Structure 1
Amino acid sequence: MSGAVGRPVSGGGGQRLLDRYPRAGRRDAVQRHQLLRVRGHSVAWLPPLLLLAAVVGADYVTGPDFRMISWVVLVPGIAAAICGIAGTAAFAVLAPIVYLIADALLPHQYDAGAADLVLAALGGILATLACVVRVRGEEHILRMRDIAETTRRTVLRPLPPGFGGLDHAAVYLAADTDARVGGDFYDIQPGLHGTRVLLGDVQGKGLTAVETAAALLGTFREAGYHEADLRTVAERLETRMIRHRGHYEELGFPDGDRFATAVLLGFPEDAPDAVDVVVLGHEPPLVVGPRGVRPFPDADGLPLGLGELAAAAGPPPVQRVSLAAGETVLMTTDGVTEARDAGGCFYPLATEVARAVAADPRTAEPSRLVAYVRDGTLRHCGGRLADDTTVFAVRRRA
C-alpha cells in the first residue's frame, strides 16, 4: 500500500494525494517532525532561533512603553514542540543569556528588570520538562507503531508477486488514525485444487475485529489449500466464525452478534477462462477489462456467522463466471462503496472505473486499478474515511 497499510501500488500521484489527506495516510506526530529535515540533517533549531532574533530586533525598534525582550520566554516553548531534549535545554539556557545581553546593550531607558529574567528562566525550565514528556510520548507511539506493524504483517501477510499464478495489488486504509490494521482482511492461497482468494470485512472495529479476521484467515489458508470444493471452504469459514464467536461469549465479551461479510474466489486449473465465486453477504466483485466493467451475478448468501438464518442449510452454491484474458476481478470493502462526499452521495465505483477504463484500457491492470480506486475514494470523501477501506484486485497471469 502506498502511504498506508498494505501491498504497494504504483503511481507517485497517489502518494501526493495521501499527503493532502494526512488522516488517510497515517501521518502522525513522529512523521511530521521528519519534515524539519534538509538532506538528512535536522533544522528544527532554525524556527526558535529565528524567533529569538526577531524578538531582539523587535525590542530594539519599539519604544519603552512596549517592551519585547521578555517575549524570549516563547523561544524555549517553540523549541519544546519541535526540537529534542538537548536542543530545548540549549534554548532554555540561551534565552535568559540573550535577555541579559540585550538588556545590557540596549539604552538604559529600556531596562526591564529582574522579573522578566526570572520569567524567561522559569519558562525555559518548564519548556524542557514539557519536551521530555513529548519525546517520551513519541517514543511510546513508535513502539506502538512497531507492534501494530507486526500485527499487520501477521494478519495481512505480504503477498509475493505472481503468488498463486495471479497478478495482484491491494491497498488498505484504516479509518482509525491510531491504528494500522482493523477488521478488513484479504489473502491468496494456492492449493491442491487451484488458487483461492478471500476478501472480507468483520463487523465492528478494535482488537476483537482484528482477532476475528486473523481466525478466519487461518482457516482459509488451511481449507483453501486442502479442500476440493469452494463451497466446502465457505462452510469451514462459517464454522470457524461460529466457534470464534462462541469463544468470546464464554469469556463474557459483548461480541455475541459479530459476523463477517466475505467474497471467496477460486481459480480452477482446469478452467483457465473462468473464476468460481461464493459471495457471503458482501458486495459482489466487478470484472474490469479493456472492454468495460461488469458486475458478478447477485448472490443471496448470508454473512459468515449468520448462516443458520438461511432458508437452505449451508452457504450459497458456487457460481462460475467467465473471465477473459486481461480481465481483472476488483473487490472492495464498504469503505469504498459507502464513501460519501460533502453532499452525502456515495462513491459511484462502477461508473468511475468504467470511465477510467474507457479512457485508458491499461487501468484494468491490478496495480493501476487499485491506485485509481484508492485515489477516487479519497477525493470523493475528502480523506474522511468513515470505515476501514480495502481495495483488492487479482487476475490470472498471462
Structure 2
Amino acid sequence: MTDQQALRRRQDLPWARGRGFAWLAPLLLLAGITAVDLNTTERFRIISWIVLVPGIAAALCGVWATAAFSVLCLPDYVAADSVWPQEYQAGLSDFVLVALAGVLAVLACTVRLNGERRILRMRDIAETTRRTVLRPLPQGWAGLDHAAVYLAADTEARVGGDFYDVQPGPHGTRVLVGDVQGKGLGAVETAAALLGTFREAGYHEADLATVADRLETRMLRHRGHTVALGRDDGDRFATALLLGFLPGRPEVVELVNFGHEPPLAVGPAGVRALPPGGGLPLGMGELSEGSGPPPTRTIPLAPEETLLITTDGVTEARNGAGEFYDLTAEVRRAATTDPARLVAQVRDGVLRHSRGHLSDDTTIFAVRRTPSPHWGPSDGSPRRRDARHARSTH
C-alpha cells in the first residue's frame, strides 16, 4: 500500500477489515427513529427527526450513500406517518422538510469530499517536497548504519526547515544535519539549497573544511537571491553539523560545528557529549574574528559507538510543568547503540514528555560505521561505486 493510499484509507473512517462501515451509523439512526415513533403514543411523535439521517450520512459517507439515505427517508417517513390516524399525522409540511434536508445533505457531502480531495492533493505535494529535500537513504549506504525521524511541530505539515543527508564519495562519507532558522517555505528553500551544495561538494572535495566553506558561501548566495526578490529573510541562518567518516580510519570522525548542539556518542561504555565546536551558524561566518568556516576537529570514535544528533526541537521540548526534556538521561535509559532503536526511543520520549505538543520541528538522527563496511563492487573501490551512482542520479 502506498503512502497516498494509506492516507486516503485513514480519511475514510471508520474502517474494519479493509471495508468501510460508515453507512451503519445513519442506518441505525433511521431504524431507531422509526422504531421509537411506532412504539410510542401519539403524544411522542419523532418521525420528523428523520431529517438527521441525511445529515449524518453527509458527514460520514460518500455522495451516493448520502443520496441513497436521502431517498430512503422519504418512503420511510410516509409509511411511518400513515400508520397513525389522520389527526396524529405529521403531514405534508414535515415531508417537504425531510426532502429538503436530503437535497442539502447531498450538496454538503459533495462540498466535504471536494475539500478532502484538495487536502489530499496538498499533502501529496508536501510529501513529494519532503522526499525531494530529505531524500530516502539506503540502509548501510557507504558503510554507515543510520536512522532518522522527522517530526513537524505543525501536525498538518510534512516538511520544514530541518535537514539531513548522507553523501558517499571518493574521499569518505560525509553527513550533514542541520536546522534552518524560521519556518515556512523560505526555510524549506534554504534547506534544499544547502543540501544541493552538500551533495556536490561532499562528493568532490577532498578536504572537509572546503565542504564547510562551500556551505557558508551557498548560504550567503541564497540570502542575497531572496533579498533581490524583495523578501524579508535576508538575515536567515542555519545551525548544522558536518561529519566526515574517513576511509581507512575507523577510529576517528571529522566534525565541523556550525553553532549546533554537539552530538552524543553512545557506546557500551556509556554516553558522552562531543566537545562543542564554537563555530557560528551558516550565514553568520562574516561575524567571526577569523576568516573561513569553523575549525575541523578530529574526534576519537570507537567502532561500536553511535553518534546521536538532534535539532533543538528535542532539547527545547517541555512538559506541562515547563521542564525541559533530558536527552542524555533518555539515551542512558535506552541502553542500546543500534541507530534505529535509539532514534525510536528518543522519539517516543520526546512525544511522551511534551504530550505530543512540539514547539519546533524535530529531527533525530543516529549514525555509526557498520561492522563490515561494503563500499561498492567486488574490488572494494568506493570511487568506482560512487562514480556509477553519480552517473545514474545526475
Contact 2:161 / 2:191 at 8 angstroms: preserved in 1? yes
Instruction: State how many pairs are aligned.
Output: 367
Q: C-alpha distance in 2, partners of 1:326/1:111?
A: 82
Q: 2:70 aligns with which of 69, 88, 92?
A: 92
Matches within 5 A, 1:238-387: 238-357=216-335, 363-387=336-360
Deviation track 1:268-314 (CA, whole Å, cap 9, x = no partner) reads: 11311111111111111110112211001012111100111111112
Q: C-alpha distance in 2, partners of 1:106/1:312?
A: 94
Query: In the TM superposition, what is the alpha-carbon distance from 1:355 to its structure 2 partner?
Result: 2.2
2:178 alignment counterpart: 200
What RMSD, in angstroms, separates the aligned Cα atoms of the two structures?
Answer: 1.6
Unaligned runs of 5+ residues in structure 2 are 372-394
Matches within 5 A, 1:48-127: 48-106=26-84, 110-127=88-105
Query: In the TM superposition, what is the alpha-carbon distance from 1:32 to its structure 2 partner?
Result: 4.0
Deviation track 1:333-384 (CA, whole Å, cap 9, x = no partner) reads: 1111111100111110011111221xxxxx2100000100110010000011
Deviation track 1:90-141 (CA, whole Å, cap 9, x = no partner) reads: 1111122211111112455541112211111111111110100111111111
Contact 2:277 / 2:295 at 8 angstroms: preserved in 1? no
Q: C-alpha distance in 2, partners of 1:51/1:332?
A: 51
Deviation track 1:129-163 (CA, whole Å, cap 9, x = no partner) reads: 01001111111111112111111111111101111
Query: In the TM superposition, what is the alpha-carbon distance from 1:178 to its structure 2 partner?
Result: 2.6
Query: In the TM superposition, what is the alpha-carbon distance from 1:68 to its structure 2 partner?
Result: 1.4
Contact 1:64 / 1:109 at 8 angstroms: preserved in 2? no
The reply to whether residue 166 of structure 1 matches residue 139 of structure 2 is: no
Q: C-alpha distance in 2, partners of 1:206/1:63?
A: 61
Contact 1:340 / 1:346 at 8 angstroms: preserved in 2? yes
Query: In the TM superposition, what is the alpha-carbon distance from 1:164 to its structure 2 partner?
Result: 1.7
Structure 1 counterpart of 2:210, which letter?
A: T
SS at match of 2:236: coil
User: Normalization by structure 1: what TM-score?
Assistant: 0.89
Structure 1 counterpart of 2:275, which letter?
A: P
> Bigger shift: 340-349 or 267-276?
267-276
2:380 alignment counterpart: none
Identity of aligned residues (%): 66
Structure 2 counterpart of 1:397, which letter?
A: T
Q: C-alpha distance in 1, partners of 2:34/2:304?
A: 68
SS at match of 1:364: coil
SS at match of 1:308: helix
Structure 1 counterpart of 2:264, which letter?
A: L
Q: C-alpha distance in 2, partners of 1:217/1:224?
A: 10
Structure 1 counterpart of 2:367, which letter?
A: V
1:228 alignment counterpart: 206
Query: In the TM superposition, what is the alpha-carbon distance from 1:229 to its structure 2 partner?
Result: 1.4
Distance 1:207 1:46, change over 3 A: same
Q: C-alpha distance in 2, partners of 1:182/1:31?
A: 25
2:157 alignment counterpart: 179
Q: C-alpha distance in 1, partners of 2:261/2:316?
A: 11
Q: C-alpha distance in 2, partners of 1:39/1:105?
A: 40
Deviation track 1:60-108 (CA, whole Å, cap 9, x = no partner) reads: 3443333211111111111111101101111111122211111112455
Q: C-alpha distance in 2, partners of 1:397/1:129?
A: 58
The reply to whether residue 392 of structure 1 matches residue 365 of structure 2 is: yes
Distance 1:190 1:72, change over 3 A: same
Q: C-alpha distance in 1, partners of 2:250/2:217?
A: 30
Which structure has the larger Rg?
A: 2
Q: C-alpha distance in 2, partners of 1:121/1:290?
A: 72
Q: C-alpha distance in 1, partners of 2:354/2:85?
A: 59
Q: C-alpha distance in 2, partners of 1:186/1:378?
A: 21
Q: C-alpha distance in 2, partners of 1:178/1:133?
A: 21
Contact 2:334 / 2:342 at 8 angstroms: preserved in 1? no
Q: C-alpha distance in 1, partners of 2:127/2:85?
A: 59
Structure 2 counterpart of 1:56, which letter?
A: T
Q: C-alpha distance in 2, partners of 1:320/1:58?
A: 79
1:209 alignment counterpart: 187
Q: C-alpha distance in 2, partners of 1:57/1:323?
A: 74
Contact 1:307 / 1:314 at 8 angstroms: preserved in 2? yes
SS at match of 2:291: coil
